[in-house]
Amino acid sequence: MKSGLYTLFILAALFSCNQKNEKSADAHDHDDGSHTHAHDSTAGKAPSEILEKKVVAASNVSPEYVQLATNVEVIPNVKDAVKSVGVLTHEGVFGPLLFAENLRSFFIELKPGMFLSEHPHPTESIVYTISGKWVLCSEGKRQVMETGSSFHFGSNMPTGWEAPFVEGALLFVVKSKTEGEAYEPYMKGLLEMKTSLDQERTNGNPFYFKELKPDHPAILFARSVNPNFDEVLKINY
* Distance from the Cα of residue 167 to its chain's centroid: 20
Res 31: pLDDT: 54
pTM for this entry: 0.80
Task: Report the 10 Å Cβ neighbour count for 130.
Answer: 15
Res 16: pLDDT: 44
Residue 96, beta-bridge partner list: 106
Res 236: pLDDT: 82
Res 1: pLDDT: 45
Res 42: pLDDT: 58
Fold of 77-225: Jelly Rolls (2.60.120)
Task: Report the 10 Å Cβ neighbour count for 185.
Answer: 11
Res 19: pLDDT: 45
Res 44: pLDDT: 57
**What is the full per-residue pLDDT of the chain (237 aa) written as tens digits?**
444 433 333 334 433 444 444 444 444 444 555 556 555 565 556 665 777 899 999 999 999 999 999 889 999 999 999 988 999 999 999 999 999 999 999 999 999 999 999 999 999 999 999 999 999 999 999 999 999 999 999 999 999 999 999 999 999 999 999 888 899 999 999 999 999 999 999 999 999 999 999 999 999 999 999 999 999 999 987
| Whole-Å CA distances, 90 to 62, 80, 181 | 21, 22, 23
Residue 69, beta-bridge partner list: 72
